[in-house]
Every structure is written in C-alpha cells, then in structure tokens.
A and B are shown apart, each in its own frame.
Chain A
Amino acid sequence: MVHKFDTLGVKCALDVCSGTVHILDDISYRMLDFFDEEGNFDQMGAKEAGLDDEKSMEAVEELIALKEKNQLFTKDIYRALVSHKEKKSVIKALCLHIAHDCNLRCRYCFAHGGEYMGKREIMSPEVGKKAIDFVIKESGARRNIEIDYFGGEPLMNFETVKEITEYAKAEGEKHGKNFRFTITTNGILLDDKKMEYINENMGNIVLSIDGRKEVHDKVRVRVDGSGSYDSIVNKFIKVARSRNQENYYVRGTFTRDNLDFAEDVMHLADLGFEQISVEPVVAQESEDYALRKEDLPRIFEEYDRLAEKILEARKNGKWFNFFHYMIDLHESPCAYKMLSGCGAGHEYAAVTPSGDIYPCHQFVNDPKYKMGDVFEGVVDKDIRDVFVKSNIYTKEPCGDCWARFYCSGGCAANAISMNKDINKPYLLACEMEKKRVECAIAIKAREALDEE
C-alpha cells in the first residue's frame, strides 16, 4: 500500500508496509496514480491521459525501481505476528491513581474533578505497595516496568508517592526489575522539595498547562472558578530548566474554543519549553467545547500552520519538540510494537485508590471493566482477552488505513465510549491522527530538502 500526500508544499509517498518515505516531483506524483495496489503500471491509462512522454516514463521507471528494491508497494506481512502479541503480552506498566481528588475543576476533565464518578479518596501506601508486588509478579521476564503516578492530582498525596517509589526501587532490585516513574501534575502543590524528589527519582514529569493564559484560565479553574495559570507557570519553567529541558512534557488540551491552538503551542515555546504536547479534547458531542466533524478543515489548517511555525523557529535556531510531530523515520519501534498499540488491559492497567484494577485510567469506575484488585492479584481473563485480541486487523477501518503502523489502532477507550465497540475507532480522532502523521513526515521531508 502506498499513501501519497501533498503537505507543507512537499509531495510525499509513504510505502506503508516498509515505512519508507519518498519525496516526489510533480511528474512522479502524477504517475503514481497509474499504479495499482500491487504496483502494476497501467500503461494504457497513462497513454490515454497523454502521459507517455519521455519524462513521465523516466519517472515511471524510477517508481518501478523502488518497487524492485522493496521500497514501494511492499506487502503487509505482519498479520502473523498477532499471535505472538497475544501469547507474550504481560502487564508491565501501571497507572496508579494516587488521589481521586483534585484541587482544580477543569471543565473538560474526564475524571470529573478527580472523582471518576466515584467518591473522593486517596491511595494508601499499602495499596500502592500491593500494586508494585502485583506488577513485579505479572511482568514475567520483562525488566523495564513503568509506574505512572496519576490522579486526580497526585501531589495531594505525595508522601504516599514517595513511599511507593522507595518500595518499588528496593523490590525492583531484589527481583531484577528496572522501575521507571512518571508523574502527572497540575502544579498547584508543586514546591522545591517535591521538585527535588521528582527530579532525583522520576524519568518523566507531565505538567498540565493549556497555553495562553486566557485559554488556560477559561478551563483550568479552581473550585472558586478562578484561573490557575499565574500560580503554576513559573514553577513549570523552573521544572523544565532543572531537568535540562529533557524528560518532561508540558501538556495541554485544545477544545472547540481554541481552534487556533498553534498559538498556544507557540506561547509555550516562547516561555522556553522545549518538550510540548497539545492534544485535542475528547468529549461527547453534546458538550459545547467538544470538537466536531465540521471543525476538521480548520483543525487541519491549524496543524499545517503549526508545522510551518515549527520549521521557521528551528531555522532561526530555536528548537522545540511537539510530541505528535515527533517521528523517527530511521529507527522507529518494531513491528510488534506497532501492532500492540497502547496495551491497555493487557500490558498496561490502572489501579484505583482502593486497589481495583481497570484496563486503563479511562475505564476507572466503570463496573463492567473492573478486572480484579491488587489484593487478590489476578486479572479477569475475559476482560483481558477483549483487549489483547483487538488489533489493527480486527478493527474495521484499520486494516486498510495507511496510518495503521503509526497509530496502531487508536484509543480503545475512545472507541468504546464513542462507538460502544473496541473494534470501531473514533473516526474524528482518526482524521486528526492521520493529519498529524502527514505533517510529521512532511516536516522531515522539508528539513531534508533544506539541508541540501
């Protein structure tokens, strides 16, 4: 399968199943239309279209040469790997819901003020330690284990975070496991002492900030309705600097209210942040801030605009990374990883303050998806199977989707909440994902052309 696209003024062809990217000129871009799925050239068709001159044929010859080199029209040979995934997958990452409580009331929060439609509660060190025992046991031969401290707001229960971290490090050493920690915070309770502990112990920190003050303060509000921007922004700048601008993300959400989100990304870049992620909100269409299908052209335009801004900034010596435009064309994850996606429910699970296990943070407190608890330490096989058996070949549109090895089938939680079926991805998210992949590739192409 070949996907061609004309983005940021460059014409590209992606050979989907090998991952090879080609930059095409106008003629070769046009001539690609006369090849079928298998890479057979329709000479009559080209002739009828008046495209049988010397130059066109030269381009055709080049495209055929790429096919011979297995760089164009390669076949999807990965279906057989699915059974490897099913057999080998073990839980190796946990999202610990340290506090089902929050000191902010962000309007779009899927956890609804941190409570997840349940009651306010915090995780005890005992539950956290049980979760560590559980993941050590479940992770089999895997050495690397990830623990993500999440909430609500995990800094509301930071002593427990520390206790769990110390326990995990000690137990990890005993069992030959390498724990990697991440914490996600809104910053309100962040202070120098916590920052120091986090920098010493955690490989990643995700700092929630939406961008421009007026955008941020409209949604990320305190209980009394006031905005939170001013009380966090300087702390976040300090965190980023103290980590040498690496191993952290400032992470924002854009909604229908700021479809000009490139401005928010640039605002964060102007503040000096070098690791930036700003993501589309996921919400039911009944919410006024939810993104809708009719917003897509505007969103695509904005992704292009953002890509241009990033290229320009880099040209002027200002480098920053936008999470969704980060793509390694030379050494991307292996085919197995490309098939396994997020791993929710079989490689990754969420643990609530009371110790219940769910496929991921998005399923928490939905009784249908309760997989077990850390005290018993076993997970429901039927629920696990739903997740482990779902992949790009079982999901309806994914098998024919050119972006399948980049996206690996989208978010299971969105598919279930929007379409009531794990195998029916949320198509609005698909459209945005595809656009971002095109932009990411086009940025690489533009940079390669500029280097010449």
Chain B
Amino acid sequence: MCYNTENTIFGVFRFKEDIVMKHVKTLNEANLALSVENGGCGECQTSCQSACKTSCTVANQKCEKKGKRGR
C-alpha cells in the first residue's frame, strides 16, 4: 500500500516545521529550478573546450553570473 504523505492521517508522518535531522545531512541548498528564471544568458564557456576534447561534463563549468543568480 502506498499513500501520499500530504494526505496522511497518521500523525507520525505529519510534516513538522523545523524537524531535527538525525539521519540526514543536507550538503547544499541547490535549486536548479530557480535557475530557470535567472539563467540562460549563454555567456558561459562552451563545454568541450576547457580541458578536454573528447568528453563533456557541464556540471564543472563556471557560471558567468556567479553569485548573482540565486543558485
């Protein structure tokens, strides 16, 4: 049986505000969704060109708007 947590009637699953995290440590406050509004300027470097010529990882590229974009 699956049920959606938002509709649960079991108290134990009700979302409490400031829950104390004992089992999970969150590493970053990333939110890719936010970058939809503030990103897309296209001024950043093209990916294949930083160190390699045979593979492509975009996650390690620098954002030209660093610090100004909210993500």
Q: A residues touching B (Cβ–Cβ < 8 Å)? A: 13, 17-25, 27-28, 36, 38-44, 57-68, 70-71, 74, 77-78, 81, 84, 88-90, 92-93, 95, 110, 142-144, 146, 148, 150, 180, 182, 184, 204, 206, 249, 251, 253, 275, 277, 279-282, 323-324, 326-338, 340-344, 347-348, 360-362, 405-411, 414, 429, 433, 436-437, 440, 444-445, 448-449
Contact = CB atoms under 8 A, between A and B. Distances in A.
Nearest first, the 7 closest Cβ-Cβ pairs linking A and B are A334-B39, A334-B35, A19-B30, A277-B51, A336-B40, A28-B23, A93-B46
Query: Which applies to chain A's interface (DSSP): helix, strand, loop or mixed?
Result: mixed
Nearest to B17: A65
Interface residues of B, number: 56
Contact of B29 (A74, A78, A249, A330): A330
A59 B23 contact: yes
Interface string B5-39: 10000101101100101111111111111011011
A238 B3 CA distance: 63
8 contacts: A17-B32, A20-B31, A22-B25, A249-B50, A279-B54, A329-B27, A333-B35, A406-B59
Contacts of B52: 251, 277, 279, 323
A150 B46 CA distance: 15
Contacts of A42: 1-2
B35 A341 contact: no
A347 B61 contact: no
Given A279-B52, A343-B46, A361-B53, A335 B33 contact: yes
Contact of B51 (A25, A66, A323, A360): A323
Contacts, number: 258
Contacts of B63: 331-334, 337
Of the candidates A61, A281, A410, A436, the one having the most CB atoms from chain B within 10 angstroms of its own CB is: A61
B48 to A, nearest CB: 5
Interface of B: 1-5, 10, 12-13, 15-16, 19, 21-33, 35-36, 38-40, 42-64, 66-67, 69, 71
B13 A64 contact: yes
A68 B50 contact: no
A92 B59 contact: no
Contact of B1 (A43, A148, A348): A43
A342 B54 CA distance: 11
Contacts of A440: 59-60
Contacts of B13: 41, 60-61, 64
Of the candidates A70, A331, A361, A411, the one having the most CB atoms from chain B within 10 angstroms of its own CB is: A331
A146 B56 contact: no
Given A144-B43, A344-B48, A19 B32 contact: yes
Nearest to B46: A93
Contact of A342 (B3, B15, B31, B47): B47
Contact of A405 (B24, B29, B59): B59
B69 A331 contact: yes
A67 B54 CA distance: 37
Contact of A21 (B1, B26, B58): B26
B26 to A, nearest CB: 5
B46 to A, nearest CB: 4
A84 B27 contact: no
A89 B46 CA distance: 12
Nearest to B49: A148
Contacts of A405: 32, 59
Contacts of B39: 333-337
Given A61-B19, A333-B59, A335-B35, 12 more contacts: A18-B30, A19-B28, A20-B26, A23-B27, A39-B5, A65-B15, A71-B26, A282-B55, A329-B27, A331-B63, A334-B38, A406-B58
